[in-house]
Amino acid sequence: MISVLILFSLVAVTTDHSPELAFIQQMQTPLGGFISDLPVAGSALEEPTLRTTRTAIRAHRLLGGQLANREAVIRFLYGCYDASSGGFAARPGLPPDPISTSVGLMICRELKLPTGDMLARGLQFMNERTENFEQIRMVAPSLEDFGETVPQSVSWLKLIDSARNADGSFGSGPGKARSTALYAVAELRLRRAIGEKKVVQFLQSGQRDDGGFGNDQAGGSDLESCYRVVRLLRRLDANPSRVEGLRAFIASCKNSDGGFGRTPYEPSSLHGTYYATIIRLWTDAFQNDFDAVKLGEIPSQWHSDKALNGPGSQWQVAS
């Protein structure tokens, strides 16, 4: 018996992301910045921050949407800038800090705004004020985005080295994969090579029974940890051991309002929705890389009636 696979045609998949966009757009405040969580009964509205606003900007781009009030976002951004120091604050009225400075510069780049001398002054501010790992890992992406480095990056790498385990991983316990992802991606952004094979093994071994990745608490996964781990796997041209399990976990976090919670048991948030959006795009790429597939063949893990219904899906095989 001869089995023949006939590939009839490749047709475009159109996915409607209007529910996710609508959820994200309602998080913009009158100040122009965005918040991550809607208030629950009896609680006050949280204050917008530059970090959350950048997440919203990126989510709009990934979902194919436009900012409803771009001008207000720009006003909020410039309201966070401190001309005396060259840094940005988390929101207007607060003191500038390294993390917000990094985020502010990246928003300028995302919105294609001129930076003028803000870039040089921001780099100097971050070089002088960055002290701990949380600040280092958040400053590193802006250095990478702008193709820059600063003198203190040498000492930052030494701080990272001091946290490394003997086997090359970072952290301990259930959240080791997440911790390793955080430190290793910071190293890459600071222009240092890492032991890719070992790191991939550490990351893949952290996938939990529910298909996702989690923090230092044993048990269920969360979308933030999934994002941290899958982001690095993607940079290393690797993938989770069980991609379909990860996609199932993401789906379990979706709520009826169009957004995603950080876990299956939480209300929707801007960050949860962003994490779900970008991870689904990455997992589509894991399973749907036509550039690497020979003519007349279909991607591995596909069969003739499988379509990927997530952001980034472009094709399905129609029979």
For residue 212, give the nearest of 280, 300, 273, 270 by alpha carbon. Answer: 280
The string of pLDDT tens digits covering residues 205-222 is 999 999 999 999 988 999
Any residues with CB less than 8 A from the CB of 193 and at least 6 apart, and which? none
Burial class (CB in 10 A: 0-12, 13-18, 19+), 186: buried
* pLDDT recorded at residue 241: 95
pLDDT of residue 40: 80
Question: What's residue 233's pLDDT?
Answer: 97
* Per-residue model confidence (pLDDT) at position 41: 75
pLDDT tens per residue, range 129-142: 999 999 999 999 99
In the chain, the domains with their CATH numbers are: 20-148 (1.50.10.20)
Contacts with 101 (C-beta within 8 Å, 6 or more apart), sequence order: 86, 87, 88, 122, 125, 126, 129, 139, 142
The stretches in the chain having pLDDT less than 70 are 1-15, 286-319
Look over the chain and give the mean of its residue pLDDT values, rounded to a whole number: 88
